[in-house]
Amino acid sequence: MFWWLSCLIVLGLLGLLWDFKLIAKPQMTVSTKASVLVPTLFIPGYYGNRYSFGHMLWRMHKRGQLDKQVVAIVKRDGHVKLLGQLQPQTRAAVQVLYQRKSSRPNLQQSGLEAVITALQQQADFDQVNLVAHSMGGVTAVLYMLSQPRVPVGKMVTIAAPLNDLEVAENGPISNWRITAHGPEHIEPIFAQFQATIQNLPPELRWLNIAGDILIGGRNDGVVSVNSSFAIRFLVKGKIDRYIEVIIRGPRATHSLLHENPLVDRDISQFLWPRR
């Protein structure tokens, strides 16, 4: 009996090790086709890691929705290491990982710009799509509003703290009420968005996802729905499409949203709608 238990423990540990290695590697097979190459970059949040989007990317690849062709590692010194190779005319996905996991949004933005520059040395493309979780959503918005050389075509933000007092800090959940004229209080990060909103690309399509675990307060345990959706007053009617989605229930917690099949479905239908 003890021998069998030991074998099960060893097999379990080997499985965890295999999973750990697998979800931070590019997939070798290419199964998707697209008329033009528009890489989709997946950006983790504060202290995010390979698990932030690793399993979502694997699930989407298994369903034939994308090919994770590149893992882009932003090193502590800001340099970028690319694992894998972009392929033309495919639904190429890029998993972005930061070695400095506590980087603030401005540093993450610099890293994101470096990743895109490095990717353009592999293949030609005119725009990117962004999928971002938590503080990565702040990074995505900052990049989108910076008049980047490579613009954003479609953007998905998941549980992004877009009107929080201190981005990425643990503490009371910011939950400023949204009125008919906007949030009742504007935090510094929201004011930063407001100051650069004239750079908003009118052709942008944006899916904004928030979670509500239904225990009161309309939040996912970390970020409130009001914080994520406050941005609507800056963008609605000014871009091609802005969509809000609330995921509800126990699987809508902040760290489980990127493991929720409803989120998978919403992202894939938004990025690659069936014709």
Q: pLDDT digit string (tens) for 8-56?
A: 554 454 444 444 455 667 776 777 888 899 999 999 988 777 667 988 9
Cα dist from 66 to 58, 84, 139, 259, 269, whole Å? 9, 15, 23, 17, 12
- List the domain range (segments joined by +) for residue 250: 2-271
Task: Provide the domain count of the chain.
Answer: 1
Q: What is the pLDDT of residue 15?
A: 46
Q: How far apart are CA 208 and CA 171, in angstroms?
A: 23
SS3 210: strand
**Exposed e or buried b per residue across 230-249, where buried means at least 16 C-beta atoms within 10 angstroms of its C-beta:** bbbbbbeeebeebeebebee
Q: How far apart are CA 24 and CA 38, in angstroms?
A: 21
- Residues with pLDDT less than 50, the chain: 10-11, 13-20
Q: What is the pLDDT of residue 17?
A: 45
Q: What is the pLDDT of residue 13?
A: 46
Which tokens in the block code for residue 30? 């290419």
DSSP string across 9-37 = HHHHHHHHHHHHHHTTS--S------SS-
Which tokens in the block code for residue 261? 């099949």
Q: How far apart are CA 241 and CA 203, in angstroms?
A: 8
Q: What is the pLDDT of residue 239?
A: 97
Q: What is the CATH number of the domain that holds 147?
A: 3.40.50.1820
Q: Say how far residue 241 (Cα) sits from the centre of its chain.
A: 18
Cα dist from 17 to 11, 14, 55, whole Å? 10, 5, 14
Q: What is the pLDDT of residue 6?
A: 57
Q: What is the pLDDT of residue 26?
A: 79
Q: What is the pLDDT of residue 165?
A: 77
Q: What is the pLDDT of residue 19?
A: 44
Write down the pTM of the prediction.
0.90
User: Residue 219: what residue type?
Assistant: N
